[in-house]
Structure 1
């Protein structure tokens, strides 16, 4: 029995020692783990502190400034002579003389053609002789009547004869005048279609006469823009035939009717042509100013980023990217008006948007002056 008790005591002692060693081992493990975690945290903080910050993303940008936006429409038209006429005879006869050189500038009243007028001149002399005789007879009849030696009937007959002969003289003068063809206005004669000595007939075209200073510009404006067109309005005109040149004209006529086929209105402007370089028939490109919008906010077209049916615009606020929807308006030569989405003074990104995210740091590499 004493032996059994001794063995039990020894067993308890052994178990107690093993339990103590297990506790010590657990405590040591926990302590080591804590030291490892603390060391790892300290190392991570040092590593993060040592890692360099990402620099702001370089982008191109512009500063939005209000400006006056001129609303224009671009149209096409053609030049016509301010006046143009084909010189035609009213009577038949032989063409005796041509008094101009082709392409010559002439003034109103200058003689262009002379037709053989020998017959008409003879008829005028005959009519004048008859008129002279009638005048003598009328004076004699009037004198006799005043002396109670003639009759009223004789005097009245003499007066009627005089008036007929006077009309005959006027008729002969008119016939003679029609044998000469003169310029009805200042202009340039074209290429003649007849030679001296040829026989001409009434209505036959002889030569064209055009007045080209000023010129007449005709173009059509769609009816939706009609409210922006007014008398005296200025237009800028360029010509494919004269590259680099711009001529300014003034509207002087607007058709009172709208063309039902094209739904447009014919407009006529006057263009100066002092040097004579403009010619009838030239194709013209017309820039017509409709209105001026004060304080418009304009950005480059590249500033707008399409997303579905919407347009987005990227701005920089304190060096951070902000993305917002924008409402575009009028467009003009690579620029677009922003009706809603930006305000004056905003920095708008114009290139590099695809690499940006909201809140990302970005820095403009070029800030052009406000236009």
Structure 2
């Protein structure tokens, strides 16, 4: 029956049709719809949190490997790239050269600033000697000292700028992405390389919040890496700072014990805690 129909007929004992009033159907108010929706979401979230945890019955948790350091190297100077020796996938040692810029202009400015600073220092010394002989006033001494400090600061600024003309690796790792090329002119902030540390990898996983009753930093577990079909020993390093109120889960960070050259960031698998199930 259409909701807009207000009357219907049926036969009666007296003969002839008789009109029977039927209450018109009304759509629920907007407030009622919103209230029902919120109640439904709350019930659904509670059911999901209780029945659909991140671990299976055996306590296995999906996990992913991540590098301890994942860094994007950017330029700090405006200059042309003179050397960019590494390509994607290449390995490097800590302190190895990543990028070198053509900084002839900055080096010339540094030489000028250092010469100016040296002259200012000598002027300060001479003024101090003249003041001792009463041939220079106190103001002359103060001004000479200020000029020497200013020149020294200019030289330090240029020295720092020239130091930024080479970028060296802050840790041992590999190049994940190269975003520039040799002889390219770049400006400050231009991304050049993305590099990853190749040391012990971190293990990222999400566990039921009720595991916090027994899970502690230092707890041992095993990671089965899908790509290699191999198990590796691991250890909990840190527990998350907050619990997701909807899923009732918490993030956990662990680390693979020792270094394994075959493991790469982004590999995934299963983590299992002996003696603990969901």
**Aligned partners of 1:176, 1:210: CA distance in 2, in Å?**
26
Secondary structure in structure 1 of the residue aligned to 2:178: coil
1:201 aligns with 2:192: no
TM-score by length of 2: 0.75
Question: In the alignment, which residue of structure 2 is the partner of 1:225?
Answer: 211
Question: In the alignment, which residue of structure 1 is the partner of 2:76?
Answer: 90
Secondary structure in structure 2 of the residue aligned to 1:126: helix
Deviation string 1:81-106 (CA, Å, 9 cap, x unpaired) is 01110111122221111233543332
Query: Per-residue deviation at 1:197?
Result: 0.5
In our comparison, the structure showing a higher alpha carbon Rg is 1
Assess if the C-alpha contact under 8 Å between 2:224 and 2:232 holds in 1. yes
Assess if the C-alpha contact under 8 Å between 1:124 and 1:173 holds in 2. yes
Question: In the alignment, which residue of structure 1 is the partner of 2:267?
Answer: 282
Query: Per-residue deviation at 1:72?
Result: 5.6
**Aligned partners of 2:275, 2:237: CA distance in 1, in Å?**
16
1:253 aligns with 2:238: yes
Query: Per-residue deviation at 1:276?
Result: 1.3
Structure 1 residues 275 and 256: alpha-carbon distance in aligned structure 2, compared to 1, 3 A threshold: closer
Question: In the alignment, which residue of structure 1 is the partner of 2:125?
Answer: 139
Deviation string 1:273-318 (CA, Å, 9 cap, x unpaired) is 5331111111120002355xxxxxxxxxxxxxxxxxxxxxxxxxxx
1:117 aligns with 2:103: yes
Deviation string 1:133-168 (CA, Å, 9 cap, x unpaired) is 101100100001111221111111110000000000
Aligned with residue 228 of structure 2, among 237, 242, 260: 242
**Aligned partners of 2:111, 2:246: CA distance in 1, in Å?**
60
Secondary structure in structure 1 of the residue aligned to 2:238: strand
Question: In the alignment, which residue of structure 2 is the partner of 1:272?
Answer: 257
Aligned with residue 171 of structure 2, among 176, 185, 201: 185
Question: In the alignment, which residue of structure 2 is the partner of 1:350?
Answer: none
1:214 aligns with 2:200: yes
**Aligned partners of 1:225, 1:156: CA distance in 2, in Å?**
69
1:149 aligns with 2:135: yes
Assess if the C-alpha contact under 8 Å between 2:80 and 2:183 holds in 1. yes
Question: In the alignment, which residue of structure 2 is the partner of 1:353?
Answer: none
Length, aligned pairs only: 222
Assess if the C-alpha contact under 8 Å between 2:110 and 2:158 holds in 1. yes
Aligned-pair RMSD on alpha carbons?
1.9
**Aligned partners of 2:242, 2:234: CA distance in 1, in Å?**
22
1:263 aligns with 2:248: yes
Gaps of 5+ in 2: 1-56
Assess if the C-alpha contact under 8 Å between 1:228 and 1:290 holds in 2. no
TM-score by length of 1: 0.57
